[in-house]
Amino acid sequence: MIIVMKPEATQDEINHVNERMLGLGFKTNVSKGEVMTVIGAVGDKHLVETESIESMAGVKQILSIREPYKMAGREMRPQDTVIKFANGVSVGGDSDFVIMAGPCSIEADPNLLFQIADTVKKGGAQFLRGGAFKPRTSPYDFQGLEEQGLKHMAEARERTGLLIITEVMDSVEAPMVAEYSDVLQVGARNMQNFKLLKAVGKLNKPVMLKRGLSATVREFLLAAEHILYQGNEQVMLCERGIRTFDSTFTRNVLDLAVVPVLKRLSHLPVIVDPSHATGHRYLIAPMANATVMSGAHGLMVEVHPDPDKALSDGAQSLMLDQYLAMMANLKKVVAFQKELTMPECLAKA
Amino acid sequence: MIIVMKPEATQDEINHVNERMLGLGFKTNVSKGEVMTVIGAVGDKHLVETESIESMAGVKQILSIREPYKMAGREMRPQDTVIKFANGVSVGGDSDFVIMAGPCSIEADPNLLFQIADTVKKGGAQFLRGGAFKPRTSPYDFQGLEEQGLKHMAEARERTGLLIITEVMDSVEAPMVAEYSDVLQVGARNMQNFKLLKAVGKLNKPVMLKRGLSATVREFLLAAEHILYQGNEQVMLCERGIRTFDSTFTRNVLDLAVVPVLKRLSHLPVIVDPSHATGHRYLIAPMANATVMSGAHGLMVEVHPDPDKALSDGAQSLMLDQYLAMMANLKKVVAFQKELTMPECLAKA
Amino acid sequence: MIIVMKPEATQDEINHVNERMLGLGFKTNVSKGEVMTVIGAVGDKHLVETESIESMAGVKQILSIREPYKMAGREMRPQDTVIKFANGVSVGGDSDFVIMAGPCSIEADPNLLFQIADTVKKGGAQFLRGGAFKPRTSPYDFQGLEEQGLKHMAEARERTGLLIITEVMDSVEAPMVAEYSDVLQVGARNMQNFKLLKAVGKLNKPVMLKRGLSATVREFLLAAEHILYQGNEQVMLCERGIRTFDSTFTRNVLDLAVVPVLKRLSHLPVIVDPSHATGHRYLIAPMANATVMSGAHGLMVEVHPDPDKALSDGAQSLMLDQYLAMMANLKKVVAFQKELTMPECLAKA
Amino acid sequence: MIIVMKPEATQDEINHVNERMLGLGFKTNVSKGEVMTVIGAVGDKHLVETESIESMAGVKQILSIREPYKMAGREMRPQDTVIKFANGVSVGGDSDFVIMAGPCSIEADPNLLFQIADTVKKGGAQFLRGGAFKPRTSPYDFQGLEEQGLKHMAEARERTGLLIITEVMDSVEAPMVAEYSDVLQVGARNMQNFKLLKAVGKLNKPVMLKRGLSATVREFLLAAEHILYQGNEQVMLCERGIRTFDSTFTRNVLDLAVVPVLKRLSHLPVIVDPSHATGHRYLIAPMANATVMSGAHGLMVEVHPDPDKALSDGAQSLMLDQYLAMMANLKKVVAFQKELTMPECLAKA
Q: What is the CATH number of the domain that holds B105?
A: 3.20.20.70
- Taking an 8 Å Cβ-Cβ cutoff, which residues of chain A contact chain D? 68-70, 135-140, 169-173, 189-190, 192-196, 213-214, 218-219, 222-223, 225-226, 229, 243
Q: Tell me which H or E stretch contains B223.
A: helix B217-229
Give the pLDDT confidence of A29-84 residue by residue, as tens digits: 888 877 778 888 887 776 677 778 888 899 988 877 677 898 999 988 899 999 99
Give the pLDDT confidence of D85-101 residue by residue, as tens digits: 999 999 999 999 999 99
A295/B283 CB distance under 8 A: no
C138/B222 CB distance under 8 A: yes
Residue A115 lies in a domain: yes
Cα–Cα distance measured from residue B102 to residue B303, given in angstroms and rounded to the nearest whole number: 5
B169/C195 CB distance under 8 A: yes
Final residue belonging to a domain, choices A29, A63, A97: A63
Work out how many domains chain A is built from and give that number: 2
Phi, psi (deg, nearest 5) at residue D10: -85, 165
Is B308 buried (19+), middle (13-18) or exposed (0-12) by CB count in 10 A?
A: exposed
> Cβ distance C291 to C308 under 8 Å?
no
Which residue of chain D is at minimal alpha-carbon distance from C274?
A: D257
> Cβ distance C263 to C70 under 8 Å?
no
B274/A260 CB distance under 8 A: no
Picking from D293, D299, D338 by the largest number of C CB atoms within 10 A of its own CB, the best residue to mutate is D293
Cα dihedral sign, B317-B323-B326-B331: positive
Cα dihedral sign, C133-C139-C141-C142: positive
Q: Are B26 and B154 within one domain?
A: no
CA distance A189 to chain D (A): 6
Cα–Cα distance measured from residue B316 to residue B280, given in angstroms and rounded to the nearest whole number: 4
Is C44 buried (19+), middle (13-18) or exposed (0-12) by CB count in 10 A?
A: exposed
In this prediction, residue C65 carries a pLDDT of 67
Q: Tell me which H or E stretch contains D170.
A: none
Helices D320-339 and D284-294, axial angle in degrees (round to 10): 20
> Using H for helix, E for strand and C for coil, what is the string for A34-77?
CCCEEEEEECCHHHCCHHHHHCCCCEEEEECCCCCCCCCECCCC
Which residue of chain D is at minimal alpha-carbon distance from C290?
A: D290
DSSP per residue, A232-274: ---EEEEE--B--S--SSSSSB-BTTHHHHHHHHB-S-EEE-H
Contacts of B212 in chain A (CB under 8 A): none
Residue A76 lies in a domain: no
Of C70, C194, C218, the CB nearest to B135: C194
C189/B189 CB distance under 8 A: no
Cα–Cα distance measured from residue B104 to residue B312, given in angstroms and rounded to the nearest whole number: 6
Burial A312-327 (b: 16+ CB within 10 A, else e): bbeebbbbbebbbbbb
Chain A neighbours, 3+ Cβ pairs < 8 A: B, C, D
C194/B136 CB distance under 8 A: yes
Q: Are D114 and D19 within one domain?
A: no
For residue A14, pLDDT over 90 is answered with yes
Q: Are D123 and D249 within one domain?
A: yes
Q: Are A190 and A96 within one domain?
A: yes
Domain extent for B207: 83-347
Give the pLDDT confidence of C148-193 residue by residue, as tens digits: 999 999 999 999 999 999 999 999 999 999 999 999 999 999 999 9
Segment A310-321 shows an average pLDDT of: 88
CA A56 to the chain's CA centroid: 37
- Angle at CA D51, nearest 5°, toward D48 and D54? 105
Q: Are D29 and D117 within one domain?
A: no
For residue D65, pLDDT over 70 is answered with no
B322/A256 CB distance under 8 A: no
> Cβ distance B237 to B266 under 8 Å?
yes
A279 secondary structure, DSSP code: -
Contacts of C220 in chain D (CB under 8 A): none
Give the pLDDT confidence of D143-198 residue by residue, as tens digits: 899 999 999 999 999 999 999 999 999 999 999 999 999 999 999 999 999 999 99
C214/A243 CB distance under 8 A: no
CB contacts < 8 Å between B and C, how many? 75
Segment B163-172 shows an average pLDDT of: 97
> Cβ distance C158 to C115 under 8 Å?
no
By DSSP bridging, strand A37-42 and strand A27-32 are antiparallel
Residue D74 lies in a domain: no
Q: Tell me which H or E stretch contains D256.
A: none
> Cβ distance B230 to B71 under 8 Å?
no
Q: Are D126 and D28 within one domain?
A: no
Contacts of A283 in chain B (CB under 8 A): 257, 260-261
Residue C301 lies in a domain: yes
Q: What is the CATH number of the domain that holds C20?
A: 3.30.70.1140
Nearest to B89 by CA among B118, B31, B119, B128: B128
Q: Are D313 and D211 within one domain?
A: yes
3-state helix, strand, coil in chain C (%, to 5): 40, 20, 40
Which residue of chain D is at minimal alpha-carbon distance from C242?
A: D244
Q: Are D337 and D268 within one domain?
A: yes
Distances, alpha carbon A58 to alpha carbons A22, A54, A76, B63, D250, in Å: 17, 9, 18, 82, 49
Nearest to B98 by CA among B163, B48, B18: B163
Neighbours of A111 (CB within 10 A): 9
Q: Are C101 and C59 within one domain?
A: no
Residue C126 lies in a domain: yes
> Cβ distance B194 to B202 under 8 Å?
no
Phi, psi (deg, nearest 5) at residue D3: -100, 110
> Cβ distance A263 to A237 under 8 Å?
no
In this prediction, residue A92 carries a pLDDT of 98
Q: Per mean pLDDT, which range of B21-25, B343-347, C14-18 is the poorest? A: B21-25
Segment C299-313 shows an average pLDDT of: 89
Q: Are B49 and B88 within one domain?
A: no
Picking from D138, D200, D244 by the largest number of A CB atoms within 10 A of its own CB, the best residue to mutate is D138
What ipTM goes with this model?
A: 0.87
Nearest to C233 by CA among C262, C212, C204, C191: C204
Segment D195-209 shows an average pLDDT of: 97
- Please, which residues bridge with residue D226 across strands? none
Residue C69 lies in a domain: no
Cα–Cα distance measured from residue A122 to residue A99, given in angstroms and rounded to the nearest whole number: 12
Residue A70 lies in a domain: no
Picking from A245, A251, A252, A253 by the largest number of C CB atoms within 10 A of its own CB, the best residue to mutate is A245
Nearest to D63 by CA among D127, D137, D3: D3
Query: What's the half-sphere exposure (Cβ side, CA atoms, 13 Å) at C305?
Result: 12
Say what the alpha-carbon torsion angle C290, C293, C295, C296 is, to the nearest 10 degrees.
30
Contacts of C255 in chain D (CB under 8 A): 244, 253-254
Q: Are C133 and C224 within one domain?
A: yes
Give the pLDDT confidence of B79-108 residue by residue, as tens digits: 999 999 999 999 999 999 999 999 999 999
For residue B347, pLDDT over 80 is answered with yes
Query: What's the half-sphere exposure (Cβ side, CA atoms, 13 Å) at B176?
Result: 14
Give the pLDDT confidence of C83-111 residue by residue, as tens digits: 999 999 999 999 999 999 999 999 999 99
Contacts of A247 in chain C (CB under 8 A): 245
Cα–Cα distance measured from residue A69 to residue B67, given in angstroms and rounded to the nearest whole number: 47
Helices D217-229 and D258-265, axial angle in degrees (round to 10): 40
Of A243, A245, A247, the CB nearest to C243: A245
CA distance A226 to chain D (A): 5
Is B60 buried (19+), middle (13-18) or exposed (0-12) by CB count in 10 A?
A: middle
CA distance B116 to chain D (A): 35
Residues 6 or more apart whose CB falls under 8 angstroms from that of C15 comprise: none
In this prediction, residue B349 carries a pLDDT of 83
For residue B300, pLDDT over 90 is answered with yes
In this prediction, residue A219 carries a pLDDT of 97
Of A284, A286, A342, the CB nearest to B285: A342
Contacts of B214 in chain D (CB under 8 A): 245
Which residue of chain D is at minimal alpha-carbon distance from B251?
A: D245
C214/D245 CB distance under 8 A: yes
CA D179 to the chain's CA centroid: 19
Q: Are C31 and C170 within one domain?
A: no
Residue B24 lies in a domain: yes
- The rounded radius of gyration (Å) of the Cα atoms in chain C is 21
In this prediction, residue C64 carries a pLDDT of 73
For residue C45, pLDDT over 80 is answered with no
CA distance A246 to chain C (A): 7
